[in-house]
Each structure stands twice: as C-alpha cells, then as structure tokens.
C-alpha cells in the first residue's frame, strides 16, 4: 500500500513465468487487470463475487478467486493461470488430457477454474479420493456437465497418464465407465461401414472442439473484442414497474469526458421491438414510457473503458416513479387488475389446448381418481458465462461477435431494429458458455449493434451477473391442477391438466410453452381420454422464455407425482403401473398421432426393473433397521418418465448444412448448428463423416457465422442432432454421390482425400482418382460443393390440438435413490439410474454428458432453485447444485430406431431433466411420506411436509 | 515486490484518514455489486506481524491476517476442532485461502461461519489504535447485523482464545441447502469439559443464523454443567432453551424451521459427546 492517494500504483508480479508490471489503482480486481491490462482471457469471470470460481488462479501456488483479489495483494507473487499452467505444469498437462478424454468440459467456461483447482490438488495429492476431489473443486460451479465426468477425470488423471498409449488412435476415444447400450440394431448401406470410419457415427470420440477448452484457449463472448473497443453500459429499471423521465442527456454527454453517446428508444432507426415469435413480438430494446420489470433497459451509455466507473453510471440523469406491479399470476388475474399491455385483456398472452375423448365423463366412471395442485417458481439458467459480445460497423454492414444459440434469428431481429436488410448484418458466434434456452432471445446484441452503428467504432458489452439474472429469460413459474383416473385393472382412463404459466412482462417463448405443455402433459402414457389447457399470463416480472423443456418439466412433476398416488391407491407397484400404461407403438398420443415402430418408453422403463427390484428390498430393509434403532434416516426410491417432441411444434424448422472440397483436397463442413456445450460440433461432423464415408480427421469444420454457414436453425427444442444431423447426413451423401459419379465407382467404394486428388477404391475395379486441379473453382473456393436441407414432417394441430406436432419423440425414465433425515428434512441423493431412448447413440460419451448435466439441473429444480425477482439476483442467494450435490449416475442408453432420425437418432438435450425432479419428489414421498406441492423441496418444506403427513 | 507495512504506520493512516480496511477481500468485493473499488484502503495482508497464530502467555493469538486455510493447516489444541470444522465450511477452498477469520467477525453477518465456534471458545477481540489497545469479548464486539464496536480509527489486530480451554472437546455443525458455497440456514457450536467421572464441568453452546448476532445459550449450558455426559442427556434440549433466539423467515428457510433444526442439531451434538464419553469409558 502506498500512503499517497494517487490513482494508480506500479505493481509487479510474475504471470505464467513472465515478469509483468502494471500501473493501476491498487484495489482493482485481479480479474480486471489480468483480462483487460494483460489480455489474459483464459481467466473467466462468471459472477464477480466468488460464487462460481471460474476466475480461479494460483497465487504463489494457492488457489484463489481473482475477482476477490486486489491486484495489490499479488505484488511480488507468482500468478499462474490455466493457459500458462497447461504449457509448463506436469499436473496441468495430465489433467487437461484427462478432462478431454473423460468429456469433463462441455461448454468450457468453467473449465479453467475447474482445472486450476484440480491442479492445486494434484500437485500434492496425485491420486486423490473422490471426497478429496469434491472438497478441492467445491468452489467452482458448472451448469453443463453434472460434475460426474469432472470427478472421474480428476480421480483418474494420474492413472490415465500412466497407462495411456494413444499413438495408434487417429481420433481419441473417450474414457468412460462404459454404458449399457441396448440391442436395437439399425442396418443400412452406410451403417455397415460405420465401424470402419474413424470417428464415425456410434463412436465415443472426444469432442472435436475440446482441446481449446481444456487449455484455456477457447474464446467466449467477452474474449474477442479489440482492446480499444468502447464499452456499453445499460441503464435498467430499479423497480418492477416504473415510469421514468430523462434529464438533460446532451449535457450529460458534454460534461463527462470519454462518454461517446447515450442511447434511448429515440435512437433506434428501425422498430423498437423484438421477440422470438414474430406474431408475438412485444419487447422493446429500450422501454418507451414505462419499464415493465425490474432490470428492464431504458437507456445505454457508450463510453471509453478507462472513464467508466460507478460514479459515471450513477450520474446518469433519470428520475423514476414507482408504479403498482403485478408480481404473480393471481395479482395479474384479479378482477379489474391493470393491464401489463394495454391490448391484452385479462393480462392473458395466449392459451393452449389439447382435447381427446371426454375427460369429465371418464373420470366420473373411473374406479380410482387422484387430484393435486403443484407449483413451481422462476428458474434461472445460471450458465456461467454472462451475456457478452462486441459489434463493429464495416461500411454499411454491421458485424456482431458474441455468445448466442441462434445466429440467424438474431440477425433477422437486429435487421428490423436497425432498419437494415438482413444481409447487411453478420452474426459470428463465439464459443457460448452455456445457454439452455435463454441465449435464444436477444439480450445484449441490440445495444452494441446500435452503439457500433451510431458511433462507427467497435463497442463491447459484458453483462454483470446481476443484470444477466435480472433481465434475461427464466423458466416459467407454473401453477398446475391435475386429475387422473384409472380403472380397476390399473389402466389409465383419463387425465385432465390445467396449467397457468407466468410469462413475465413480455411474450418471449410464452406461446411455445403454452402449446408444448398440453401436447406433453400426459407423459409418455396411453390415455383414452385426455384434456390439457394452459394459459400464459403477463406480470411485471422478468420475461419467462425457453429453458430446457419449455414447460414440460413442470407438467411432468404434477403428472408423475400423481401417478405414485394413483399406483398406491390401486395397490400396484409404481414401476409396474408405469410399464402397464406406457405408450406403445400403434397407440394414439394425446394429439391423436400414431407411431408404428419408434416408441421407446417401455424399453426405458423395463431396463430399470432389476435395479428397482433390488433397491426396493434394500431400501425397505434399511428403513426397518432405522425404525427399530430410532435412527432419523429413511431411504426411498422414486421413478418417473418423460417424453419430448424434437423440433418446432407443428411449424417448419429447416436446417441447412453446406460442405465443399477445395482443390487441395481439404473437405470443409459448414457446421452452423451452434454448439453451446451440448456437442453439435462433434456429432454433426460425425454424421457428415459417416455419410461421406471418410475418417473424421479429414474434415475441416467451419463454425456458426451467418456469413459462412447456412441457417441450421436454432439450438433449441432438442433438434440439432435430429434436424441438422439429417441435413449433415444428406450433405455427406450428396457429396459422396458427386464423387462416385465423377469417378464412375460403386456405392460401396472407399474414398480418401489426398493433396490435390481424391482416391476412390472400389473392391471390384482398379483404383480411381479425381484430379482436383482439373475442376472449376466456385465463388467459395470449392471444386465440389453441396448444401442440403432437412425439415421435419409435421402436421398442424386443429382447435382441439389434434394433429402431428412432431416427427420424433425421445423417451426417458429415471430411477433415483435417496435418503431423508426425517428430523431435519434434509435430502441426500444416493444415486441415479437414467434410461434414455436416443434412437441411435451418435456419440455415447457426449450422451452420458448430456444425461448427467440434465440430471444436475433437475436436482436444482427439485431441491434448491427459486428465482425471486429483486431477492435472489446473484449466485449465493440463488443456489444451483455444486460438485457435492450430484450423486453417481448410471446412464442406460436405449436405442429404438426412428425412421426419421439420422441413422435412427432422436434428440436428447431437453429430455434429460424432465423425469429428474418428479423422480426425486416421488422418492422423498416413498422415504418419509412427505408430499411437496410447491418446489423446491428445501429442508424446511420437507420437514413441514413430514410433520403434515404424520399429523 | 511485496507490499510491507509496519503496524504503527497502518494505525497512523487510520487515525489520519477515514480509510476502509481490506482483509481477504471475500466480503468487500461482493458487497460492491460490481461497483468500482475504493481507490484507497488499508490492506491487512500487507502487515506481516498480523499473519500468525501463536501461543502468547495464557492466550492463543490469531492475527488479523490469518486465513481460514492457515488455521486448517496448523496443528492446534483439541478445543479448536469446532473452529477448524467451521473453517472447512467457509465457502470454498478459494475463499478459505483468501478470507481471514478476523474479517469474518468484522463483516458481522448473522450467518458468519466463524462466530459460533469462537463464541464457545470465549474469544476476545484485540482492537488497536494510535491511542493504544483495548480488548473486548466477542459477545460484545458484534452488536448487530453488520455492526460492531470497532471505531473508525481502530484496527482489529487479533483474536485471543484462552489456552485454559485447550483440552476441551468442541464440535460444530452447519446446515445449508447445498454442499459447498452455501450460506447457512443454521449453525451450532458446542464445547464441553468433563472430569474423570464424565461429569460435565464446563459447557458452552452457541447458535448462528438464528438471531441478528450469533448467541450463547446460557440456560442450556447451565443445565449441562454438573450432569454426567452419558445417555441421560438424550432429551435434554427443549424449546425453552432456544427462547432467546429470534430467527427470521428468508429465502433459505422459515423461522420455525430454524428453531426446530437447531434443537435437533444441538441434541445430536450433545448425544455425540455422550456416545464418545461412553466409548472412552468402555475402552
């Protein structure tokens, strides 16, 4: 510390082995110095509050959060970050390799923090136990992986290094405990070759974009802006509902050196409105008269980075008038309640409905009927990467670089806002540090786009954790009332679902939730009579949008919890009841759709039978003993199913995948299906390689960029493996056909790419070759090229929701074992057994990763997560599972071939968390009788339910 | 070069200017809510003489710059078990490596992880200024939510713990909604001393996150003293013993639950001592 109150002090330290000197205010956060002054972008910032650990660095070998460290505190020390460590530290190299091999990195944003924490552990403890790993990594949050592969990687890193001999492998195959793939076999002309193609369909190869992620080199939304970019800061409403008026904005700009401009709704050249569903677009970029939720944008300051501080932001001239706000759907539906949007009577955004048969009559005639009300809260996506990016104007075009789930949709929305043609805008996706649905909607993009357009200078923005949580979409809070009937033989007779969803202040994906839920609320069961009605209600809260499952996880909670009550009433085993009522081939779904061969729920459920039987007996034995000994622990097992339609509901959602061959023999795949960690970069390439019939190592992948990759649709609705996968397969087949045509070779030929030529070997004929230098080069630089599209076949739903909403459904069933402390109400998860029908496992290792990650989010939904506007706007009041909260997970991969899926594959991403929460709630009830109707099942709620049940 | 500062000079800065004190930074930075840090702070980490744990005279002296990790890694007498258990429950390894025990007290959160364990150790707080040194009991040091008796020109230089307690047995439990990085729903710390006949000769019990400042439960302590540490204590904790707690409903739990859980946890901890005593006796 220097006694002189000078703004900046000189501080020297050793960074990754190099001596560095900086001159900055002494209490600047180390993260800011590392990232902004020293361009050390491998140090990630997820929360700026020590809650996520993404910024972990070693200071003299000690693991600390750089965001909580004053740069002065590292003067004279040695600071090591992941990019430095992976080049010099032996433990780091071992761990990077293990992370890659085990699939411990998905989106990769938490990976630097995880690796740094693991390095600190391994330096003194090369072969740690699982508990030691948990304790060492407990300070780093991950939202993608479910942690299990991270644990495996760290526990086994040293051993893997000792054993590994990979020289004979062209494409590394993942390390895994092994998955139980079931037998359904798919044969085709190409399939026979799959095993011969290195990295082809079905092989558990490591992710193709993984190396960057495990070495700190991957670039996310906040890592790409030029150092001199201006910074955009958004001014947001401090109230749930407020009027506002600006002071003298011109004077503010004039009086503050370094402020380039201020932006408000008046500066928008196009329309001040956006939304993901065109007929429902109702969200302004900047609020015009009233702000309708806490955190809504009303203006933005664009300034040079070095002048930006809280004083400057606090001096922004605006006055607020707090107005009466509806925070719940009850408030908004009260008679005479003021309207959130003047034209929306009753504050109803929209309704959804599916009706088959006569529910009321069937329930009246049922042998047994159960009924229940269930409620869930807002759930925050809590990806570790807050929204970030930068924009620049290039002549009359605008380019935006940043995190996103859907570049083309973002481009079209920005075009409307800026009043530009769509082709005047380029969106290039950086790596995206998790999305889960919330990075579908526009968030940061319009502010930097407008700022760059107006100032003609590059402009960057990074949301703080608080503004990310305040302003970006959430999972819809739900209130559900469900009645279910069964006959004396234990067969379902009818299900009636009524759901009210809080859609927040703007529509976002509210209509999708309202439509998807009625289609899915039956669960994957056969119901002769079925009715589901939904209403989406506006309130003065943050918009609810897309979050892994679009409302289906909420509906599954009500339906699956009531199934347990119904089975108990009927005296039928809970798993048997589900198997007996599971939807089968040639049975109608609630929308009247019939699948002849692809319904996979029964195999999922039956795959759990033996585990169910053995756990049933061990659990009851445990409980008998505990009761006899007056011990407070009780164990329980729970089961629940889920299904989910892949792709848009009865709407077109085509994907296009382009590929080309250069004259030097390079095969380029234009892979526009955004990889937000789920693995599309890898599986799309695997499918393309298999279809083309070449090893995956021959393919050069170009990533999502609206100037380069055709529209592969949004990363949403579990559609990329299915829809973009089909497009990739068709592209591969078309390219193969071109080559075979040129060489006049047989369809079973082997194709190899060599410099400037393609060699084709047909078993029965002499080797052929195509001299690529002889072919004409097109505008893209290709001598051969293809672009193939695929759009799933669906049929519109009628006024009763009857039709064919999806070409494909995927199916899932989860079994969980847990322990409840009946005196404290605390729940300890023991293990999951998760069966998923994926049609065909394109990459079993990535599938396991999706299953584990989805289950972790389901655990959060069931046990701890609740976003309360204005109260839980950070990651220490809003809790997501840590590494200590996810138990071992056995993945059971079921393959029931789907005729529409590429190689028979179905989608998976959203399916994985649908059964998790109800399985947990059912296990809690089994353990101790506690029934939770308003999630999450925190210890206080569980204890109160236990006491209610025994009263 | 490392910044090194003499304590005397630091106290002079505090006397001359209204300067905020920075310790580990793990509470200071989050509380900024992304605002710009102050341009001038007094950094406790730059005072080497405050960075040790030592036995000085009759007291263990934990310097203001001592981190939770330092405590965890240092061999300490038996009575520090509860404080070490609390240390392992502080946030995460990253937080334990930066955060100081004294900083935890000065931040004065109702859910401060260190307070219950230090309360049962009869900890005293040493406050220094250019005018000299004063020592106050921890129970008097924290006066309310985010409020202490620390004056603006004073620096907490150490926590003092009587070595007379060294061989007492202590336990600590923190209950939260997840495993790591969690703010407690309730925390309990217990210290007992037994004589050769397993009779309890001294007891201290403290509860955190159930009142604005963590509290000792003196009635329960008095009830234990003189009793034999065995199965006869099985149902000794009653609701009345918790009557001076005043928990609130918040996002983590209801007030009612906090009281119920406290009673269960305290009873289990006492039963644990009784079990150990019995096991020791039969050994």
* pLDDT digit string, tens, across residues A216-227: 999 999 999 999
Chain A: closest CA distance from residue B162 (Å): 31
Q: Tell me what the mean pLDDT of segment A663-688 comes to.
A: 97
What are the C-alpha distances in Å from A525 to residues A358, A669, A804?
17, 40, 17
Say whether A72 and B46 touch across the interface (CB within 8 A).
yes
Chain A: closest CA distance from residue B84 (Å): 15
Is the pLDDT confidence value at A191 over 60? Answer: no
Q: Tell me what the mean pLDDT of segment A78-89 comes to.
A: 96
Burial (CB count within 10 angstroms: exposed 0-12, middle 13-18, buried 19+), residue B183: buried
Q: Which residues of B touch A14 (CB under 8 A)?
A: none
Q: Is A926:A932 a contact under the CB 8 Å cutoff?
A: no
* pLDDT digit string, tens, across residues A925-939: 999 999 999 999 999
Q: Is A604:A837 a contact under the CB 8 Å cutoff?
A: yes
Say whether B93 and A138 touch across the interface (CB within 8 A).
yes
Which positions 303-342 of A are in contact with B (Cβ < 8 Å)?
A: 309-311
A238 touches B at CB < 8 Å? no
Is the pLDDT confidence value at A423 over 50? Answer: yes
Nearest to A882 among B26, B179, B265 (CB): B179
DSSP for B119-167 reads HHTT-EEEEEETTEEEEEEHHHHEEETTEES--TT-EEEEEEEEGGGTT
Which of A93, A206, A114, A105 lies closest to A158, judged by CA? A93
Is the pLDDT confidence value at B128 over 80? Answer: yes
Report the pLDDT value the prediction gives residue B282, as an integer from 0 to 100.
Answer: 62
Q: Which residues of A touch B24 (CB under 8 A)?
A: 68
Q: How far apart are CA A710 and CA A722, in angstroms?
A: 17
In the 8-state DSSP scheme, what is residue B240? G
Rg of chain B over Cα atoms, rounded to whole angstroms, equals 19
Chain A: closest CA distance from residue B25 (Å): 5
Whether omega before A936 lies within 30 degrees of 0, making that bond cis, reads yes
What are the C-alpha distances in Å from B7 to residues A551, B42, B45, B133?
60, 11, 11, 12
Residue of A nearest to B256 (CA): A940
Say whether A117 and B93 touch across the interface (CB within 8 A).
yes
Chain B: closest CA distance from residue A356 (Å): 41
* pLDDT digit string, tens, across residues A533-582: 999 999 999 999 999 999 999 999 999 999 999 999 999 999 999 999 99
**pLDDT band per the 50, 70, 90 thresholds, residue B281:** low
Phi, psi of A410 (to 5 degrees): -60, -40
Say whether A50 and B261 touch across the interface (CB within 8 A).
no
Q: Which residues of B touch A132 (CB under 8 A)?
A: none
Q: Tell me what the mean pLDDT of segment B95-103 comes to.
A: 98
Residue of B nearest to A140 (CA): B92
Q: Tell me what the mean pLDDT of segment A184-190 comes to.
A: 29
Instruction: Give the up-direction half-sphere exposure of residue A938: CA atoms within 13 A in the CB hemisphere.
Output: 25
Is the pLDDT confidence value at A2 over 50? Answer: no
**pLDDT band per the 50, 70, 90 thresholds, residue A6:** very low
DSSP, collapsed to helix, strand or coil, labels residue A725 as helix
Q: Is A545:A509 a contact under the CB 8 Å cutoff?
A: yes
Mutate to test the interface with B, among A128, A307, A824, A864 (most CBs of B within 10 A): A824
Q: Which two tokens stand for residue A913?
A: 């968390």
Which of A467, A620, A579, A591 lies closest to A532, judged by CA? A591
**pLDDT band per the 50, 70, 90 thresholds, residue B280:** low
* pLDDT digit string, tens, across residues A741-793: 999 888 888 888 889 999 998 877 778 899 999 999 999 999 999 999 999 99
A36 touches B at CB < 8 Å? no
Say whether B25 and A73 touch across the interface (CB within 8 A).
yes
Say whether A134 and B175 touch across the interface (CB within 8 A).
no
Q: Which residues of A touch B112 (CB under 8 A)?
A: none
Helix (H) or strand (E) holding A297: strand A297-303
Nearest to B26 among A50, A141, A864 (CB): A50
Residue in the structure block whose two tokens are 């009359």? A396
Is the pLDDT confidence value at B60 over 70? Answer: yes
Q: Is A441:A508 a contact under the CB 8 Å cutoff?
A: yes
Is the pLDDT confidence value at B32 over 90? Answer: yes
Q: Tell me what the mean pLDDT of segment A471-486 comes to.
A: 98
* pLDDT digit string, tens, across residues A349-368: 999 999 999 999 999 999 99
Say whether B42 and A1 touch across the interface (CB within 8 A).
yes
Report the pLDDT value the prediction gives residue B2, as an integer from 0 to 100.
Answer: 55
Nearest to A824 among B34, B256, B264 (CB): B264
Say whether A53 and B94 touch across the interface (CB within 8 A).
yes
Percent of chain A clearing pLDDT 90 (strictly above): 93
Say whether A27 and B41 touch across the interface (CB within 8 A).
yes
Say whether B30 and A883 touch across the interface (CB within 8 A).
no
Q: Is A651:A942 a contact under the CB 8 Å cutoff?
A: no
What sections of A524-573 are H helices per DSSP? 552-570
Residue of A nearest to B42 (CA): A1
Say whether A139 and B24 touch across the interface (CB within 8 A).
no
Mutate to test the interface with B, among A54, A81, A120, A138 (most CBs of B within 10 A): A138
Say whether A51 and B181 touch across the interface (CB within 8 A).
yes
Q: Tell me what the mean pLDDT of segment B116-121 comes to.
A: 98
Say whether B34 and A309 touch across the interface (CB within 8 A).
no
Report the pLDDT value the prediction gives residue A184, as an integer from 0 to 100.
Answer: 29
Q: Which residues of B touch A65 (CB under 8 A)?
A: 26, 94-95, 98
CA A312 to chain centre: 35
CA A76 to chain centre: 41
Q: Which residues of B touch A30 (CB under 8 A)?
A: none
* pLDDT digit string, tens, across residues A718-742: 999 999 999 999 999 999 999 999 9
Report the pLDDT value the prediction gives residue A5, as an integer from 0 to 100.
Answer: 40
Chain A: closest CA distance from residue B96 (Å): 9
Say whether B264 and A876 touch across the interface (CB within 8 A).
no
End-to-end Cα, chain A, rounded Å = 63
Residue of B nearest to A825 (CA): B261
* pLDDT digit string, tens, across residues A295-332: 999 999 999 999 999 999 999 999 999 999 999 999 99
Is the pLDDT confidence value at B104 over 90? Answer: yes
Give me the total of CB pairs closer than 8 Å, taking one residue from chain A and one from chain B.
173
Pick from A214-228, A527-541, B13-27, B131-145: least confident: B13-27
A462 touches B at CB < 8 Å? no
């Amino acid at each position: 510390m220097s006694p002189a109150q000078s703004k900046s002090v000189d501080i020297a330290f050793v960074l990754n082995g190099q001596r560095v000197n900086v001159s900055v205010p002494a209490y600047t956060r180390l993260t800011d110095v590392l990232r902004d002054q020293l361009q050390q972008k491998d140090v990630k910032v997820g929360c700026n509050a020590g809650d996520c650990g993404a910024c972990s660095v070693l200071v003299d070998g000690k693991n600390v959060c750089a965001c909580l460290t004053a740069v002065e505190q590292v003067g004279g020390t040695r600071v090591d970050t992941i990019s430095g460590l992976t080049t010099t530290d032996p433990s780091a190299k071992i761990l990077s390799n293990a992370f890659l091999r085990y699939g411990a990195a998905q989106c990769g944003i938490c990976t630097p923090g995880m690796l740094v924490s693991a390095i600190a552990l391994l330096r003194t403890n090369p072969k740690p136990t699982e508990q030691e790993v948990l304790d060492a990594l407990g300070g780093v949050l991950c939202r993608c992986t479910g942690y299990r592969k991270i644990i495996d990687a760290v526990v086994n890193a040293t051993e893997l290094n000792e054993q590994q001999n990979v020289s004979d492998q062209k494409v590394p195959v993942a390390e895994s405990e092994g998955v139980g793939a079931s037998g359904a076999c798919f044969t085709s002309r190409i399939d026979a070759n799959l095993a011969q193609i290195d990295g082809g369909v079905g092989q558990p190869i490591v992710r193709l974009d993984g190396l960057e992620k495990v070495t700190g080199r991957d670039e996310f939304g906040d890592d790409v802006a030029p150092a001199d970019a201006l910074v955009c800061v958004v001014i947001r409403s401090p109230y749930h509902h407020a009027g506002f008026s600006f002071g003298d904005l011109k004077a503010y700009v004039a009086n503050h050196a370094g402020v380039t401009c201020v932006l408000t709704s008046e500066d928008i050249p196009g329309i001040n409105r956006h939304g993901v569903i065109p007929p429902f677009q109702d969200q302004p970029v900047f609020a015009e008269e009233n702000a309708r939720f806490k955190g809504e944008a009303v203006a933005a300051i664009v300034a040079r980075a070095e002048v930006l501080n809280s004083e400057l932001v606090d001096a922004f001239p605006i006055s607020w008038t707090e107005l009466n706000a509806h925070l719940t759907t009850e408030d908004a539906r009260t008679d005479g309640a003021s309207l959130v949007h003047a034209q929306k009577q009753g504050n109803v955004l929209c309704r959804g409905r599916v009706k088959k048969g006569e529910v009321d009559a069937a329930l009246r005639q049922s042998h047994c009927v159960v009924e229940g009300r269930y409620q869930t809260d807002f759930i925050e996506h809590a990806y570790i990467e807050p929204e970030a990016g930068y924009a620049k104007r290039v002549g009359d075009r605008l380019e935006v670089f940043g995190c996103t789930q859907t570049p083309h949709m973002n481009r079209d929305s920005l075009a409307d806002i800026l009043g530009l043609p769509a082709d005047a805008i380029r969106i290039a996706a950086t790596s995206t540090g998790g999305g889960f649905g919330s990075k579908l909607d526009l968030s940061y993009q319009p502010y930097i786009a407008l700022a760059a357009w107006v100032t003609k200078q590059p402009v960057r923005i990074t949301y703080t954790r608080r503004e990310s949580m305040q302003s970006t979409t959430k999972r819809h809070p739900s209130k559900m009332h469900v009645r279910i009937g069964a006959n004396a033989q234990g067969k379902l007779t009818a299900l009636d679902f009524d759901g009210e969803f809080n859609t927040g202040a703007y529509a976002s994906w509210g209509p999708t939730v309202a439509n998807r839920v009625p289609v899915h609320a039956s669960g994957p069961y056969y119901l002769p009579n079925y009715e589901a009605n939904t209403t989406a209600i506006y309130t003065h809260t943050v918009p609810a949008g897309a979050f892994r499952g679009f409302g289906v996880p909420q509906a599954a909670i009500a339906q699956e919890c009531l199934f347990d009550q119904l089975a108990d009433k009927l005296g039928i085993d809970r798993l048997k009841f589900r198997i007996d009522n599971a939807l089968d081939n040639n049975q109608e779904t609630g929308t009247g759709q019939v699948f002849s061969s692809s319904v996979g729920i029964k195999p999922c459920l039956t795959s759990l039978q033996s585990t169910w039987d053995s756990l049933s007996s061990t659990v009851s034995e445990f409980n008998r003993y505990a009761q006899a000994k007056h011990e407070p622990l009780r164990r329980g097992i729970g089961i629940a199913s889920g299904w989910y339609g892949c792709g848009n509901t009865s709407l077109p959602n085509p994907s296009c995948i382009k590929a080309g061959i250069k004259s030097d023999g390079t095969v380029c795949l234009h892979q526009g299906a955004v990889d937000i960690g789920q693995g599309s970069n890898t599986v799309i390439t695997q499918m393309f390689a298999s279809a083309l019939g070449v090893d995956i190592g021959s393919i050069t992948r170009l990533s999502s960029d609206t100037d380069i990759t055709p529209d592969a649709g949004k990363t949403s609705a579990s559609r990329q493996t299915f829809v973009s996968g089909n497009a990739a397969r068709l592209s591969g087949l078309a390219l193969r056909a071109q080559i075979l045509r040129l060489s006049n070779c047989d369809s079973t030929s082997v194709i190899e790419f060599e410099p400037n030529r393609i060699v084709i070997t047909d078993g029965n004929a002499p080797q052929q070759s195509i001299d690529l230098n002889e072919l004409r080069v097109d505008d893209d630089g290709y001598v051969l090229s293809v672009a193939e599209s695929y759009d799933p076949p669906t049929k519109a739903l009628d006024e009763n929701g009857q039709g064919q909403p999806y070409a494909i459904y995927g199916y899932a069933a989860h079994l969980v074992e847990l322990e409840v402390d009946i005196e404290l109400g605390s729940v300890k998860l023991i293990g999951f057994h998760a069966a998923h029908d994926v049609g065909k496992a394109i990459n079993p290792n990535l599938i396991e990763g999706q299953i584990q990650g989805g289950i972790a989010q389901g655990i959060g939904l069931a046990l701890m997560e609740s976003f309360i506007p204005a109260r839980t706007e950070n990651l220490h009041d809003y809790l997501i599972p840590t590494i200590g909260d996810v138990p071992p997970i056995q993945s059971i991969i079921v393959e029931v071939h789907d005729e529409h899926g590429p190689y028979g594959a179905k989608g998976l991403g959203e399916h994985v968390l649908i059964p998790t929460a109800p399985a947990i709630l059912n296990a809690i009830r089994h353990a101790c009788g506690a029934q939770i109707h308003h999630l999450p099942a925190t210890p206080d709620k569980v204890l109160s339910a236990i006491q209610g049940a025994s009263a | 070069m490392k910044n090194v500062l003499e304590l005397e000079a630091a106290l002079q800065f505090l006397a001359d200017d209204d300067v905020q004190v920075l310790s580990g930074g793990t509470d200071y930075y989050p509380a900024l809510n992304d605002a710009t840090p102050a341009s001038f702070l007094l950094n406790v980490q730059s005072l080497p003489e405050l960075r040790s744990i030592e036995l000085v005279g009759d007291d263990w002296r934990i310097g203001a710059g001592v981190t939770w990790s330092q405590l965890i890694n240092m061999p300490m007498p038996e009575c520090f078990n509860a404080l070490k258990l609390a240390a392992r429950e502080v946030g995460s390894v990253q937080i334990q490596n930066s955060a100081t025990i004294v900083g935890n007290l000065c931040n004065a959160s109702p859910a401060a992880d260190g307070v219950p364990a230090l309360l049962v150790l009869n900890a005293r707080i040493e406050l220094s200024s250019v005018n000299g040194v004063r020592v106050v009991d921890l129970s008097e040091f924290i006066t309310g939510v985010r409020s202490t008796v620390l004056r603006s020109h004073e620096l907490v230089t150490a926590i003092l713990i009587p070595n007379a307690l060294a061989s007492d047995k202590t336990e600590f439990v923190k209950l939260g909604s997840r495993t790591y990085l969690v703010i407690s729903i309730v925390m309990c710390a217990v210290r007992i001393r037994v004589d050769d006949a397993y009779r309890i000769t001294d007891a201290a019990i403290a509860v955190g996150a159930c009142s604005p400042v963590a509290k000792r439960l003196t009635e329960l302590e008095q009830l234990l003293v003189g009793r034999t540490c065995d199965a006869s204590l099985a149902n000794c904790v009653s609701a009345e013993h918790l009557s001076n707690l005043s928990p609130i409903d918040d996002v983590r739990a209801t007030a009612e639950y906090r009281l119920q859980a406290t009673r269960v946890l305290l009873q289990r901890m006492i039963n644990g001592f009784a079990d150990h005593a019995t096991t020791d006796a039969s050994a």
